[in-house]
Amino acid sequence: MHDDTAAAVQARLARRAAEQAGLATDQLWWQYFELGGEVGALEIEAYLHECLQLPSGHRDLITCAVNELAGGTTAARAPFSWELQGSRGDAGSPGTGRRPGPGPLS
């Protein structure tokens, strides 16, 4: 799956999971910030509504925040970028998506 497509799908699924879990943007932003995130609540809101693209590192921190606040319920789980990259829509075989590595957010 192309990164722009994966980013849009990831944003949509993160928004859906946050809505299912009843999470407010400020709750999500605070959890994201505690995980080391650097963008503001307005940017997170714009990302969740697919009005702003963020690098995969920030998207994955938002996903982590959603999943942690949702309490790990599968009904309200958002996918990480490497899970989408390794999906059937990817040019490679399943499971070949990039996994996060050490270093700054990209």
Q: Is residue 106 part of a domain?
A: no
- Give the Cα separation of 23 and 48 in Å (integer): 12
The model's pLDDT over 88-99, given as tens digits with 9 standing for 90+, comes to 443 333 333 334
Domain count of the fold of the chain: 1
In which domain, by residue range, is 40 found? Answer: 3-85
Q: In this structure, is residue 72 part of a structural domain?
A: yes
DSSP E strands: which ranges in the chain?
A: none
Is residue 71 assigned to a domain?
Answer: yes
53 inside domain: yes
For the question of whether the overall pTM of this predicted structure is more than 0.85, the answer is: no
Higher pLDDT, 105 or 83: 83
Does some domain include residue 101?
A: no
How many of the other CB atoms lie within 10 Å of CB of 82? 17
Residue 6 pLDDT exceeds 60: yes
**Tokens read off for 45:** 């809101």
| Residue 13: partners with Cβ closer than 8 Å, 6 or more residues away | 78, 79
